[in-house]
Chain A
């Protein structure tokens, strides 16, 4: 397939599947809490709705930084789709993209001048301190497989079996990272309801649309990376089943767990990271 067509197709799939999985998560959470919940396509409709709404900009915002940062978030996650499903490039590059995502999340909040955005910005900096150690999972994968290239990791698993059996603690660490990116999760401190919508509070119209598209693609990509590096290359149906299964587990956790205080959230993530790193190295050595 033509490279451009391949990229376009994968980006559209990532956006649609990510949006529907978010809607599915909200449905499951609602059913657990004995509510009917919104339809599964609600998140998708919500995203599209913002493109026909009026775009307004706070007069306190740092222009053009405020506009560019939301647009860049979209570009960053489209790059992740290219590095991941399209060319099966380096996992380290996906880590770099995630690092840029943290920076954009942080500055989308602070650039508006809103105190809610600012609090979300400071929390994003705190959470980076916990999420970056969780990404040590990449080094563990490298120590086990001898490569960071996704295509070669898939080949390794074809010969040696899924990595989830060999380094389960690393898989658990990555799952905690996925959980921290889910809306309503115990670790979602940057978008806690005590600070309205966190860094998105002052983004309206097209800019909010960009942020929501990016979130959907980011969710799809995190699930894709988890399934690919811990289970192996799957068929499209296999990926879909895997993503639905992980989203269901995440929805159960989110529905039954309150959002943690920022300090507790960070300490819990750092604890998971420490146990995961030390445990995985011991598992590799023995």
Chain B
């Protein structure tokens, strides 16, 4: 069983038709981690960023306004829930949907900020994320077309990897890389993190890294190198 050799002991499955969510220590840890951070974001205030004032010896305080705070917190919670969903789902298409949702709300979290550099970075990240949605969903569609299922549990029991699944994996990598803004796109994304609102920018980073880890697990499950 590939799942046990990749993610650790299989603790149980939830049979829902052909979609069979499975539970391993890896998935549980990531799911619990995403929910814990989401809860923390929901109850936290934002920090006051202190910067040196230009042309004087005074400090300048940058705060998040109440209207901006509300919309950013709402989007951050949605992003946290989508990340938790991406960690626990047993269906490849649901995973790609969650990843696309993460990409959309990440742009929203930053685009509420009124700073030109930050908005520029969010715009560029948005372009990449939109372009990445094609290979992301295309990859999942190719897996379905070549194997007849999107259930990761069923895919893990397959005995060989069709060539088309390998090609779909490359598309999935491209899609996830664009949606989460990993290197080489991360350089642009890092500029978004200069904005105040620490709890909200946490979820942008959290969702990206956790999705990358989950993608590694999924790629190893759907491809059979041995």
Contacts and interface: CB of A to CB of B under 8 A. Distances in A.
A32 interface: no
A66 interface: yes
A132 B183 contact: yes
Interface string B6-48: 1111000000000000001110011001001100110111111
A157 to B, nearest CB: 16
Contacts of B37: 103
A96 B226 contact: no
Given A60-B48, A65-B199, A138-B216, A128 B186 contact: yes
Contacts of A125: 186, 189-190, 193, 205
Interface string A127-154: 0111011000011001100111100100
Given A62-B45, A99-B209, A133 B183 contact: yes
B116 interface: no
Nearest to B37: A103
Nearest to B28: A93
Contact of A114 (B7, B50, B187): B50
A122 B44 contact: no
Contacts of A103: 37, 202, 205-206, 209
B144 to A, nearest CB: 24
A95 to B, nearest CB: 6
A265 to B, nearest CB: 13
Contact of A111 (B43, B47, B61, B187): B47
Interface in A54-82: 59-66, 68-69, 72, 79
A145 to B, nearest CB: 9
Residues of A in contact with B, size category:
35 or more
A148 B49 contact: no
Nearest to B36: A72
Contact of A148 (B7, B43, B212): B7
A191 to B, nearest CB: 17
Contacts of A128: 186, 205, 209
A248 B29 CA distance: 34
A152 B5 contact: yes
A121 B26 CA distance: 27
A100 B33 contact: yes
B185 to A, nearest CB: 9
A142 B183 CA distance: 23
Most buried by B among A65, A133, A142: A65
B201 interface: yes
A110 interface: yes
A99 B189 contact: no
A86 B197 CA distance: 38
Contact of A60 (B6, B47, B206): B47
B220 A102 contact: no
B210 interface: yes
Interface of A: 59-66, 68-69, 72, 79, 83, 89-90, 92-93, 95-97, 99-100, 102-103, 106-107, 110-115, 118, 121-122, 125-126, 128-130, 132-133, 138-139, 142-143, 146-149, 152, 270
Given A92-B216, A118-B49, A132-B209, 18 more contacts: A60-B61, A62-B45, A63-B44, A63-B45, A65-B45, A72-B36, A89-B9, A93-B7, A96-B30, A107-B205, A110-B193, A118-B194, A121-B193, A122-B194, A125-B189, A126-B190, A130-B183, A152-B5
